[in-house]
Copies of this chain bind each other. A is one copy, B any other.
Amino acid sequence: MNTIGRVFRVSIYGESHGPSLGVLVDGVPAGLPLSAEDFAEDLARRRSGQPGTTARREQDTPMFKSGIFNGRSTGAPLMVQFDNRDVDSSPYESTKTLPRPGHADWTAWQKFRGFNDYRGGGHFSGRLTAGLVAAGIIAKKIIAPATVNASVLEVGGSRDYEPLIREALAAGDSLGGVVECRVRQLPAGLGEPFFDPLESLISHIVFAIPAIKGIEFGAGFAAARMRGSEMNDNIIDQSGTTATNNAGGINGGISNGNEIVFRIAVKPASSIALRQQTIDLRTGQPAEIQVRGRHDAAIALRVPVVLEAATAIALADALLILKTVNP
């Protein structure tokens, strides 16, 4: 369903080519200072403009529809809306019965029995992440002084990836990447054993970001090849500091006060300019499709700010819940 969180609750709505999209945030403590400027930086980071990212230009001006009064949160549900302006749906009409490989076109058509808004991916569009980023800005304020920082580790398998991107753009192809996220100064105690470990809460929301195919915490998949004697992090002081951080800051599903570290795998954008095989939903016959429109060559580049937002949302909820038993 379209809501996440137990006490800090975030609901997403909108479509890529509909009139608006946005986010409804409930459980925001009253009195939090919130202004348009607070939203500017992260929304700008999310917005297109880097080499390898789509040409669609949206102002992404956040409109505060509720929950803010005199520059502060009121404690009532907080609605942030974005209008869609730079919309060109024409490329989608001719191919609306040709589900694009790698996209949600076929599954959306199947699940919603053909009633889904297919234009620009509709509700499945990466554009929806604008709402996620807006909620993340609020969440970051709630978890302060803890900080969340994500960065691209590699694109196309390389840490020096700009030439690869140019090459992929020229070829009409796209590249995947790996993004890492680090949370500092998070108190110990967040997360619950069975069934809300911190890894569960983070991965749940992270896999809602389009194009994510994997997540690993601390040593992650490398842990599968380690011995217990290598993997275990020795505890070196009373505050729980560990000599190493193979656990990624989480033991038994609960934050241990060390840095939270995890990485995610971002697949290459599904929209490519090359010819691909699909079927025509109308006729059931095989067909070729060549996706036009405006797309990213390396969506991994735009993921960090979205990943930060998603992480902050999960942490804000866990932190507020911790206060119910440990105020």
Contact = CB atoms under 8 A, between A and B. Distances in A.
Which 8 pairs between the two chains have the least Cβ-Cβ distance? Answer: A104-B252, A214-B216, A102-B232, A174-B228, A76-B123, A75-B112, A107-B254, A234-B277
A274 interface: yes
A279 B74 CA distance: 22
Contacts of A18: 65-66, 69
A101 B234 contact: yes
B324 A320 contact: yes
A87 interface: no
A113 to B, nearest CB: 6
Contacts of A99: 235
Given A195-B205, A268-B226, A235 B101 contact: yes
Nearest to A320: B324
Interface residues of A, number: 155
A24 B24 contact: yes
A13 B66 contact: yes
Contacts of A116: 30, 69, 74-76
A219 B14 CA distance: 29
Contact of A213 (B3, B195, B221, B267): B221
> Which has the most chain B C-beta neighbours within 10 Å: A18, A168, A278?
A18
A267 B224 contact: yes
B115 A74 contact: yes
Contacts of A188: 107, 110-111
A200 B205 contact: yes
A203 B224 contact: no
B9 A7 contact: no
A223 interface: yes
25 contacts: A1-B27, A2-B24, A3-B11, A4-B195, A30-B115, A69-B122, A72-B115, A76-B112, A104-B193, A104-B251, A106-B235, A107-B256, A110-B240, A111-B254, A111-B326, A123-B194, A124-B253, A175-B228, A203-B204, A213-B224, A214-B220, A216-B221, A216-B265, A224-B266, A236-B279
